[in-house]
Chains A and B, each alone.
Chain A
Amino acid sequence: MALTGIFLIVFLLVHCYVNANVFFSHGEENFNRAAHFMGTNILVRIAEIGLFAGFILHIIQGYKLELSNRAKRSSKYAVTAGNKTSTWYSRSMALLGTLILLFLIIHLVHFWVPSRFGGLTEVNYDGKSVLNLYGRMKDVFSQEWVIIVYLLGCFSLAWHLLHGFQSAFQTMGWNHKKYTPLIHSMGVVFSVVVPLIFALMPLFMYFGWEIPVGELTLLF
C-alpha cells in the first residue's frame, strides 16, 4: 500500500503541475502542447503503463487488506471509541478510496478514453497538429453536475491523502524523532494544496477565469 501510495503521490504532483497550465493566459496553447508531449513521448507512454499498474495494484491491495482486516473481528463491539482515539478518515480509507475510484472511472471516461480512442478535435500550433484537450475540458466542465462530482472527488482525495501521506512513511519504517513532524506537516500541506489546485481547474473552466501572466509556460 505504502509503495504504490508514494508512487501515486508522485504522479499527482506531475499531473497537477502539467494541468496548472490552464490557470494562466495562453493556457489553451500551453496546456495542449504539454498534453501532446505527455501523450506522444515514448518514455511518458511507458511510464503510463507503470501508472496503470500502480493504480490497479493499489486498488487491489487496498480491497484485499480491508476485507482481510474486517474478517478479524466477527463479534462486533456494542460501543466503540469512535473519534476519541483515531481520526475518522484514517478508519475510512477504503470508503474514501472507493469514492476516488468512482471519480477516477468518470475522469478516465471524460479525458483519457477520448484522447486515446478518438473523439477529440485537433488544433494546429506552428504547423503541428495536436489534440484539443483544452477544448475537451471546456466542454466537460460546462456541466454543473460534473463540477460537483469533481469537487467531491478532490474532497475525497484530500481526506485520503491526509491519512495516506504520513501513513506510507510509517509503513516503510521511516519514523524519526526529528523528521516525522516535518513529514506530518508536509502531508497536511500536500493533502490540502494539491486537491485544492485540482478543484480549482473545473471552476476556472466553468467561470472562464484566467491568471494574466505574460510568458509563463509550465512546459518542460
Chain B
Amino acid sequence: MQHYNMDLTLKVWRQQNRNAQGGFETYQVKDISSEMSFLEMIDVLNEKLIHEGGDPIAFDHDCREGICGTCSMVIDGRPHGPWKGTTTCQLHMRAFKNGETIVIEPFRANSFPVLKDLVVDRKAFDRIIQAGGFISVNTGNAVDGNAIPIDKDDADNSFAAASCIGCGACVAACKNSSAMLFVSAKVSHLALLPQGAPEKSTRVAAMVDQMDKEGFGSCTNTYACEAECPKEISVMNIARLNREYLASSFNADK
C-alpha cells in the first residue's frame, strides 16, 4: 500500500478525574504517517502537548501487539476503531484519510468509570474473574495435559473463547453496557474442557451474580459486541452461558 502523510483534526475527550466534568478538546496533528499505529499518532500529539507545557492525553496501553487487552478508546463511535477484529494499538493510520476529523472517547459505561481522559477503570472484570473464572487445582506434580482426552471441536471452541483479552470493547459497544460476551467467553473456555467441568455449575452462577452486582446491563441480543470484539468472540458463547446458567439454576445441590 502507498505510504502517505496526513493532517488530522482530533476531538478528544478530556476529563481530569473520576468526578470531574469531562468535555471534548480539539487538536490538530500534522504529517502523520499512514504507517503509524493509532497509539503512535497519539504519542506524537502528546509529545507536542508536553513541549507546549500542556497536559498529555492519558490513555491505556501496554503490549501494543494486540494481545494484552489494555488499550481501549472509542474511535468515531467504534470501540478499537473502524477495523474488524483489531485492537486500537493494531489500528493503523492508513485507516484514515488526510484532512479527516476523528472523535476519540473513552469506553462509556457506569461500570467502567473514567479515571482520566481515555483511561477507564475495568476492575469490574477482574472481580468477575475472581468470582469464578478459574479452576481449582491440587498442589503436587502437574498432570500431563496430554493424558486427558479432549474432543477436537471442544478444544477448538474453548480456545476460540479463551482468546478473549478482556478489553471491555463488548461493554463499550453494547447499547445496554452488558458484559455478557466477556463473561460468556470466560465461562465457555473452562466449561468446554474436562478440567473446568467439576466447577462449571458454581462458576457460571458466581460469575453472573458478580456481573449483575457490578452493574452491567442485560443482553438483548443486538450482537454489536460480536461485531466490535477485537478477538471476534462469537455470541454462540452467550447462548452457552445461558444454557449453563439455566442448568445451574436447576441444580438442586447448589
**Which A residues lie at the B interface, using CB under 8 A?**
65, 68-69, 71-82, 84-87, 90-91, 93, 163, 166-167, 170-175, 177
Cα–Cα, bound, A73→B243 (Å): 27
Contacts of B243 in A (CB 8 A): 173
User: Which of A76, A78, A90, A175 is within 8 Å of B239, CB to CB?
Assistant: A175
Q: In this assembly, does B103 line the interface, its C-beta being within 8 Å of a C-beta of chain A?
A: yes
Which secondary structure characterizes the binding site on chain B? mixed
Contacts of B109 in A (CB 8 A): 72-73
Contacts of A177 in B (CB 8 A): 236
Q: Say whether, besides A80-B77, A84-B78, A85-B224, A173 and B177 are in contact (CB < 8 Å).
A: no
User: Which of A65, A78, A174 is within 8 Å of B105, CB to CB?
Assistant: A78
Cα–Cα, bound, A107→B87 (Å): 50
Q: Are B228 and A85 in contact, with the CB atoms below 8 A?
A: yes
Contacts of B10 in A (CB 8 A): none
Contacts of A167 in B (CB 8 A): 220-221
- Smallest CB–CB gap between A167 and chain B, Å? 4
Q: Are A90 and B110 in contact, with the CB atoms below 8 A?
A: no
Q: Which 7 A-B pairs have the closest CB atoms?
A: A175-B239, A173-B243, A79-B77, A69-B176, A85-B227, A173-B242, A72-B177
Q: Are A174 and B78 in contact, with the CB atoms below 8 A?
A: no
State which residues 203-226 of B face A: CB under 8 Å. 215-224
- A sample of 16 cross-chain residue pairs with beta-carbon separation below 8 angstroms, ordered by A number, consists of A69-B217, A73-B109, A77-B105, A79-B105, A80-B77, A81-B228, A82-B77, A85-B228, A90-B222, A91-B175, A93-B220, A170-B238, A171-B221, A174-B239, A175-B235, A175-B236
- Smallest CB–CB gap between B26 and chain A, Å? 12
Q: Say whether, besides A173-B242, A173-B246, A81 and B108 are in contact (CB < 8 Å).
A: no
**Which B residues lie at the A interface, using CB under 8 A?**
11, 22, 24, 74, 76-78, 103, 105, 108-111, 114, 173, 175-178, 215-224, 227-228, 235-236, 238-246
Q: Are B24 and A78 in contact, with the CB atoms below 8 A?
A: yes
Known: A65-B218, A75-B22, A172-B242. 4 other contacts (CB 8 A): A73-B109, A85-B223, A86-B223, A170-B238
Q: Are A69 and B240 in contact, with the CB atoms below 8 A?
A: no
User: Which of A77, A80, A90 is within 8 Å of B221, CB to CB?
Assistant: A90
Contacts of B221 in A (CB 8 A): 90, 163, 166-167, 170-171
Q: Are B222 and A68 in contact, with the CB atoms below 8 A?
A: no
Q: Say whether, besides A79-B76, A84-B78, A171-B242, A73 and B220 are in contact (CB < 8 Å).
A: no
Q: Are B74 and A77 in contact, with the CB atoms below 8 A?
A: yes
Contacts of B74 in A (CB 8 A): 77, 79
Contacts of A86 in B (CB 8 A): 175, 222-224, 227
Contacts of B241 in A (CB 8 A): 173
Cα–Cα, bound, A73→B113 (Å): 10
User: Which of A78, A91, A175 is within 8 Å of B222, CB to CB?
Assistant: A91
Q: Which residue of B lies closest to A62 (CB)?
A: B220
Contacts of A65 in B (CB 8 A): 218, 220
Q: Which residue of A lies closest to B114 (CB)?
A: A75
- Smallest CB–CB gap between B93 and chain A, Å? 19
Contacts of B222 in A (CB 8 A): 86-87, 90-91
